[in-house]
Amino acid sequence: KNQVEQSPQSLIILEGKNCTLQCNYTVSPFSNLRWYKQDTGRGPVSLTIMTFSENTKSNGRYTATLDADTKQSSLHITASQLSDSASYICVVTGLTGRRALTFGSGTRLQVQP
Amino acid sequence: NAGVTQTPKFQVLKTGQSMTLQCAQDMNHNSMYWYRQDPGMGLRLIYYSASEGTTDKGEVPNGYNVSRLNKREFSLRLESAAPSQTSVYFCASRWTSGGQGYEQYFGPGTRLTVT
């Protein structure tokens, strides 16, 4: 069964610090991997998308990496801000059938002043 | 350009009551989706519609029905609500072509409580 596991489940950091969130997946064959940010009470919004041939993708202070051999991805947040407080969801798209999306359960990040 | 809109934002139902969640998108996307999000779990696909006039079951379709009214609108109906259907429901849409799916856009969600 296709799975996406994220760690840690939750994380508290101080404003200005960096952090890294992890995503391990078993989806195969694999089309692409996305990281979404979900603010409390809102729908997820895409941060980055990577295909299997891409190793890294940046979006401002967010940098995602992908190792398709080990089926691992990470999201690095630099110089965190209070507005980064949210859940971060890793989503993997399969390559077969209707290209179903498999969602991780998310990492809840809290940035404190 | 409103993106994906959902109504209502909040709803409380008693067990056995029925209701319809509405979703509309103005991005001319052909594919639309309904997900539910429960604490500690990833979003799970309830139903999807790859194009106007077609609908298919997702991972957790039991207790739900859908209607793709036209290209813009995709509704989710609970015929006889159960406490297990207490959840946050998200509608999403995206453009798909030749088996390739592009960016998926989500609505703001409907928080449903069934007592």
What is the number of H-type helices and E-type strands within chain B?
0, 13
Q: What is the pLDDT of residue B103?
A: 82
In chain A, % of residues over pLDDT 90: 76
CB of A1 within 8 Å of a chain B CB? The answer is no
CB of A94 within 8 Å of a chain B CB? The answer is no
Q: What is the pLDDT of residue A24?
A: 97
Residue A98 — pLDDT band, cuts 50, 70, 90?
A: low
CB of A43 within 8 Å of a chain B CB? The answer is yes
Mean pLDDT of A42-62: 92
Residue B91 — pLDDT band, cuts 50, 70, 90?
A: very high
CB of B112 within 8 Å of a chain A CB? The answer is no
Phi/psi of residue B23, each to 5°? -140, 140
Distance CA A30, CA A111 (A): 32
Q: Which of A18-22, A76-80, B93-97 bottoms out in mean pLDDT, i.e. has the lowest?
A: B93-97
Q: What is the pLDDT of residue B101?
A: 64
The answer to whether A40 and A86 have CB atoms below 8 angstroms apart is yes
| Partner-chain residue, chosen from B41, B45, B109, that has the shortest CB–CB distance to A43 | B109
CA angle A15–A25–A41, rounded 5-degree value: 45
Dig out the tokens for B52 from the structure: 């106007």
Distance CA A8, CA A107 (A): 6
The answer to whether A103 and A2 have CB atoms below 8 angstroms apart is no
The DSSP output letter for A52 is T
Strands B10-13 and B110-114: parallel
| Partner-chain residue, chosen from B4, B92, B101, that has the shortest CB–CB distance to A93 | B101
Mean pLDDT of B94-115: 85
Q: What is the pLDDT of residue B10?
A: 96
